[in-house]
Homo-oligomer: A and B are copies of this chain.
Amino acid sequence: MSDISGDAIAGLVRDIAGRAQGAARRLAMLPTGVKNDALLRMAAALDSEAGALTEINARDVERAQANGQSAALVDRLRLTPKRISDMARGLREIAALPDPVGEVTRMWKRPNGLDIGTMRVPLGVIAFIYESRPNVTADAAGLCLKSGNAVILRGGSEAIQSNLALGELLSKAIIAAGLPGDALQMVPITDRRAIFEVLKLDAFVDLVVARGGEEFIRAVVEQSRIPVIRHDKGLCHTYIDEETDLAMATEVAFNAKVQRPSVCNAMETLLVHQRVADAFLPAFCDQLKAAGVEVRGCMETRRVVPWALEASDADWDAEYLDLILAIRVVATLDEALDHIAHHSSRLSESIITTNYQHARRFVHEVDAAAVFVNASTRFTDGNEFGFGAELGISTQKLHARGPMGLESLTSLKYVVYGDGQIRA
């Protein structure tokens, strides 16, 4: 598609964004029932067109295989009947959630009699840039529409046929429900210049949410005139405290590493207090080995687990996204906290302890989107937190942090009721 001129791309993208902005003002005022009807129609369309979607998706899959893409990428790309019905179920779950728009989260009275409240309102137009998984498309569309926002979707180029088919099907469903069709638009070209044109349109687009590799996201943030919420790196730790339940530590740490190693909230580094290293590490590492996990340890780890590979300094900063675990034995809780402060990506951190003060210190002192006591780092997730779905997991502190559900797609306005008050 690189034969399209830059001007043509800019014009196309600007047209999409302008129409999205027009739709956003109407969307912001829609009653909850109308939005929910649209979501249910979207779900029904997915169910009834599942066969056609899998056929179209097969073309993307074939092309990816022909291009020699990795098995992992091809797997993420594939739409199975099960995945399509999961998308439909996700939309029905979003329909069942309370509408965040118009919620007054609190209201207070001032000494002069003014009643001041904070009301949730939509952001306006959201541009969502994501990778090859086409099933994210339905979640993103559902969350944006329910929160009263127009959305411009730009999925991975590998999934272009699947995403265009999904976009058409979902657009028809929202039009049938009486929503403006421009509320949900797909950027129809795979040329990367289209992304960078979107990033210039701060007069039309209120927020960019970008999911992808660290390097790509950095380029997006640097080029964008629009605020960007990024979902990039996850380098998560589990710390086994000196006072701990060894069976729980084994189960939780194993889950954090092995249950789904390719995702951002999987554990990459295990920290173990020296007082429990002998009791904990040998059996735990045997279990890892049996599950195919490569263990890379510090010197003290290798004293108790001689077969472990030697960890280098680079391992403490490595996001493996794979069946590899770095293990470091620490002398104190402070040493663990320091290690986390220096190496964590500040996404998902966990302590396994039976000591009240240690749990309390960990919760207060670790700076991360989610801090766990006695639970797997894998729980940092919109569904697991009860948000129904997520647009991504924000790895930054501004506006939204952690799993992004409906509320993170809203802003607020102050609503103020008076009886003629003036300022002195």
Chain A residues packing against B (C-beta within 8 Å): 25, 28-29, 102, 108, 110, 114, 116, 119, 121, 123-124, 202, 206-207, 221-222, 225, 227, 245, 248, 251-252, 255, 259-260, 341, 359, 363-365, 367-376, 378-380, 384-386, 396-399, 401-402, 411-423
Query: Which applies to chain A's interface (DSSP): helix, strand, loop or mixed?
Result: mixed
Known contacts A375-B418, A412-B401, A416-B373; A384 and B423 CB within 8 A of each other = yes
On whether the beta carbons of A416 and B114 are closer than 8 Å, the reply is no
On whether the beta carbons of A398 and B227 are closer than 8 Å, the reply is yes
On whether the beta carbons of B422 and A374 are closer than 8 Å, the reply is no
Known contacts A385-B116, A416-B370; A423 and B379 CB within 8 A of each other = yes
On whether the beta carbons of B420 and A371 are closer than 8 Å, the reply is no
Nearest-CB distance from A393 to chain B (Å)? 11
CA of A363 to CA of B116, assembled, Å: 12
30 contacts between A and B (CB under 8 A): A29-B365, A102-B364, A114-B379, A116-B386, A123-B398, A124-B397, A202-B221, A206-B398, A227-B227, A227-B396, A252-B421, A255-B423, A368-B413, A369-B414, A370-B414, A371-B416, A372-B416, A373-B416, A373-B418, A374-B418, A374-B419, A375-B416, A378-B422, A380-B414, A398-B398, A398-B399, A398-B411, A401-B411, A402-B412, A402-B413
In the complex, the chain B residue whose C-beta lies closest to that of A255 is: B422
On whether the beta carbons of A386 and B421 are closer than 8 Å, the reply is no
Nearest-CB distance from A423 to chain B (Å)? 4
On whether the beta carbons of A375 and B259 are closer than 8 Å, the reply is no
On whether the beta carbons of A248 and B28 are closer than 8 Å, the reply is no
What residues of chain B lie closer than 8 Å to A114, measured between beta carbons?
375, 379, 384
Nearest-CB distance from A296 to chain B (Å)? 23
CA of A422 to CA of B368, assembled, Å: 19
On whether the beta carbons of B371 and A414 are closer than 8 Å, the reply is yes
CA of A206 to CA of B385, assembled, Å: 26
On whether the beta carbons of B419 and A369 are closer than 8 Å, the reply is no
On whether the beta carbons of A25 and B341 are closer than 8 Å, the reply is yes
On whether the beta carbons of B116 and A415 are closer than 8 Å, the reply is no
- Give the 3 A-B residue pairs with the shortest CB-CB distance, closest first: A375-B418, A255-B422, A397-B411
On whether the beta carbons of B413 and A369 are closer than 8 Å, the reply is yes
What residues of chain B lie closer than 8 Å to A252, measured between beta carbons?
420-422
Known contacts A102-B364, A252-B422, A365-B29; A416 and B108 CB within 8 A of each other = no
In the complex, the chain B residue whose C-beta lies closest to that of A102 is: B364
CA of A227 to CA of B221, assembled, Å: 9
What residues of chain B lie closer than 8 Å to A28, measured between beta carbons?
367
On whether the beta carbons of A420 and B116 are closer than 8 Å, the reply is no
